[in-house]
Amino acid sequence: MTILLGCIADDFTGGTDLAGMLVKAGMRTVQMIGVPQEPIGDDIDAVVIALKSRTNPVEEAIAESLAALRWLQQAGCKQFYFKYCSTFDSTPKGNIGPVAEALMQALHSDFTIACPAFPVNGRTIYKGHLFVGDILLSDSGMRHHPLTPMTDANLVKVLQAQIKGKAGLVDYGVIRQGPEAIKARFDKLKAEGCNFAVPDAITNDDLLAIGAACADMPLVTAGSGIALGLPQNFRKAGLLAECQVADALPHTGGLRAVISGSCSIATQGQVAAMREKHPAFNIDPFELARGKDVVGAALEWAKGKIEKEPVLFYATATPEAVKAVQTQLGTEKAGSLVEDAMAAIAQGLVAMGVGQLIVAGGETSGAVVKALGVTGLRIGPEIDPGVPWTTGITKETTQRPLALALKSGNFGTPDFFLKAWSKLAS
Ligand code: ADP
262 lines ligand 1 (CB under 6 A): yes
| Summary mean pLDDT of the chain | 94
- How far away, in angstroms, is 335 Cα from ligand 1 center? 6
Per-residue model confidence (pLDDT) at position 37: 85
User: What does the pLDDT look like over 113-155, one tens digit per residue?
Assistant: 999 999 988 999 999 999 999 999 999 888 888 888 899 999 9
Using the mean position of ligand 1's atoms as its centre, give its distance from the Cα of residue 414 in Å: 18
CATH architecture assignment, domain 255-423:
3-Layer(aba) Sandwich (3.40)
User: 339: Cβ below 6 Å to ligand 1?
Assistant: yes
**CB 315 less than 6 A from any atom of ligand 1:** yes
Is residue 322 in contact with ligand 1, taking CB distance under 6 Å?
Answer: yes
Which CATH class name applies to 5-236?
alpha beta
| Spacing, Cα 262 to ligand 1 middle (Å) | 5
129-138 pLDDT tens trace: 999 999 999 9
Please tell me the predicted confidence (pLDDT) of residue 244.
78
Residue nearest to atom 4 of ligand 1 (CA): 409
Pocket test for ligand 1, best of 259, 263, 368 (most atoms within 8 A of CB): 263
Return the pLDDT at 55: 87
Distance 419 CA to ligand 1 centre (A): 23
- Whether ligand 1 lies within 6 angstroms of the CB of 337 is answered as no
Q: What is the pTM of this model?
A: 0.87
Nearest CA owner, ligand 1 atom 20? 315
Encode the chain in three state secondary structure. CCCCEEEEECCHHHHHHHHHHHHHCCCCEEEEECCCCCCCCCCCCEEEEECCCCCCCHHHHHHHHHHHHHHHHHCCCCEEEEECCCCCCCECCECHHHHHHHHHHHCCCCCEEEECCEHHHCEEEECCEEEECCEEHHHCHHHHCCCCCCCCCEHHHHHHCCCCCCEEEECHHHHCCCHHHHHHHHHHHHHCCCCEEEECECCHHHHHHHHHHCCCCCEEEECCHHHHCCHHHHHHCCCCCCCCCCCCCCCCCCEEEEEECCCCHHHHHHHHHHHHHCCEEECCHHHHHCCCCHHHHHHHHHCCCCCCCCEEEECCCCHHHHHHHHHHHCHHHHHHHHHHHHHHHHHHHHHHCEEEEEEECHHHHHHHHHHCCEEEEEEEEEEECCEEEEEEEECCCCCCCCEEEEECCCCCCCCHHHHHHHHCCC
Please list the residue range(s) of the chain that carry CATH number 3.40.50.10840. Answer: 5-236
364: Cβ below 6 Å to ligand 1? Answer: yes
Q: Which residues, given as ranges, of the chain have pLDDT below 70?
A: 1, 397-398, 426
Domain with CATH 3.40.980.20 in the chain: 255-423
The best mutation among 259, 262, 406 to test binding of ligand 1, ranked by most ligand atoms within 8 Å of the C-beta, falls on 262
Query: Is any ligand 1 atom within 6 A of the Cβ of residue 363?
Result: yes
Q: Is the CB of 285 under 6 A from ligand 1?
A: yes
Ligand 1: does its nearest atom lie under 6 Å from the Cβ of 338?
A: yes
What pLDDT is attached to residue 426?
Answer: 62
pLDDT of residue 408: 84
Q: Which atom of ligand 1 is nearest to the CA of 410?
A: 3
